[in-house]
């Protein structure tokens, strides 16, 4: 069978152009769909990352808050830890040579040689000396106090400082005395940080201060053969 194409040539060419145009449009649609799909995937990924970043930021802030609280607690605990360490180091090994025991012996000797009408208001102990503050009821009592204290074998170079008040000889006498130790107390390894303890304070590094009123003679009395106080 013989087929004759009597259509003009441009009709066939137009038909071909139309097919090619449809194919190009289909390819563009597919490409656009692919780009849109990639865009949506990336958008979801970015959203997920943003959510994760927000969560991590919140967690970091919580961690920082906890760290700040922990630091504050450590700062609160530090003085107690220092106190425990101070006491532990004072306990020593062997115990009879511990600085705390030596200081206790020193205090015992100081009180033994303290005139019994003396009222201490502050005692400061250091590796190489003792500071005493207090009052007695009269200048003669203060003289007797110094004479007794000078007989303490653990003290030397006693330097008194007295305040007789507005009417000398008519009332209590406030005084302070600085004494050197005949044998300095060794306190190896103690920290130099200061601790707050009660009304006075406890200084580490071989120094201890006790404040507040302490009863007449702190339970001490004139040493055997020592001077007795004047009658009231």
pTM over 0.85: no
Q: Does residue 84 sit in the same domain as residue 99?
A: no
Residue 2 lies in a domain: no
Say how far apart CA 163 and CA 168 lie, in whole Å.
9
Residue 231: pLDDT band (50, 70, 90) is very low
Q: Does residue 66 sit in the same domain as residue 101?
A: no
Q: Does residue 103 sit in the same domain as residue 215?
A: yes
Residue 205 lies in a domain: yes
**Residue 179: which region, alpha, beta or left (left: phi > 0; alpha: psi -120 to 50)?**
beta
CA dihedral 86, 90, 93, 97 (to 10 degrees): 160
Last residue of a domain, one of 91, 114, 132: 91
**How much is the average pLDDT of 27-51?**
89
Residue 207: pLDDT band (50, 70, 90) is very low
Residue 228 lies in a domain: no
Helix/strand/coil (H/E/C) assignment for every residue in 47-58: HHHHHHHHHHHH
Q: What was the pLDDT predicted at 190?
A: 43
Q: What was the pLDDT predicted at 200?
A: 36
Residue 3 lies in a domain: no
Say how far apart CA 206 and CA 92 lie, in whole Å.
14
Is residue 158 helix, strand or coil? Answer: strand
**How much is the average pLDDT of 94-100?**
53
Last residue of a domain, one of 39, 56, 91: 91
Say how far apart CA 177 and CA 148 lie, in whole Å.
13
Q: Does residue 82 sit in the same domain as residue 104?
A: no
pLDDT in tens, 143-182: 899 999 899 888 888 888 877 655 555 668 888 889 888 8
Cα angle 168, 174, 176 (rounded to 5 degrees) comes to: 130
Neighbours of 49 (CB within 10 A): 10
Number of domains into which the chain is organized? 2
Q: Does residue 163 sit in the same domain as residue 52?
A: no
Q: Does residue 18 sit in the same domain as residue 126?
A: no
Residue 32 lies in a domain: yes
Q: Does residue 110 sit in the same domain as residue 187?
A: yes
Q: pLDDT at residue 210 above 80?
A: no
**Residue closest to 118 by CA, chosen among 197, 204, 218:** 218
> Please, which contacts does 196-203 make with residues 24 or more away whose CB atoms are closer than 8 Å?
196/79, 197/83, 200/122, 202/83, 202/86
Q: What was the pLDDT predicted at 123?
A: 82
Any idea which residue has 């306990």 for tokens?
91
Q: Please, what is the average pLDDT of the chain? A: 72
Q: Does residue 85 sit in the same domain as residue 169?
A: no
- Min mean pLDDT across 37-41, 101-105, 178-182 is at 101-105
Q: What was the pLDDT predicted at 202?
A: 33
Q: Does residue 136 sit in the same domain as residue 164?
A: yes
Boundaries of domain holding 128: 95-219
Any idea which residue has 């940080």 for tokens?
193
Q: Does residue 102 sit in the same domain as residue 189?
A: yes
């Amino acid at each position: 069978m013989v087929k004759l194409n009597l259509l003009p040539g441009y009709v066939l060419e137009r038909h071909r152009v139309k097919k090619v145009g449809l194919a190009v449009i289909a390819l563009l649609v597919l490409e656009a769909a692919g780009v849109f799909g990639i865009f949506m995937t990336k958008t979801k990924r970015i959203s997920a990352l943003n959510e994760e970043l927000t969560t991590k930021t919140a967690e970091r802030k919580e961690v920082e808050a906890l760290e700040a609280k922990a630091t504050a607690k450590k700062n609160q605990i530090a003085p107690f830890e220092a106190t425990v360490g101070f006491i532990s180091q004072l306990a020593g090994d062997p115990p009879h040579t511990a600085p705390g025991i030596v200081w206790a012996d020193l205090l015992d000797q100081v009180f033994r040689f303290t005139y019994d009408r003396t009222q201490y208001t502050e005692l400061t102990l250091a590796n190489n000396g003792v500071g005493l503050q207090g009052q007695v009821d009269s200048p003669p009592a203060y003289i007797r106090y110094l004479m007794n204290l000078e007989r303490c074998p653990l003290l030397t170079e006693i330097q008194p400082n007295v305040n007789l008040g507005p009417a000398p000889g008519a009332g209590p006498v406030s005084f302070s005395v600085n004494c050197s130790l005949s044998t300095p107390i060794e306190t190896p390894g103690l920290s130099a940080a200061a601790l707050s303890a009660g009304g006075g304070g406890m200084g580490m590094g071989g120094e201890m201060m006790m404040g507040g009123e302490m009863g007449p003679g702190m339970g001490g009395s004139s040493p055997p053969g020592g001077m007795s106080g004047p009658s009231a």
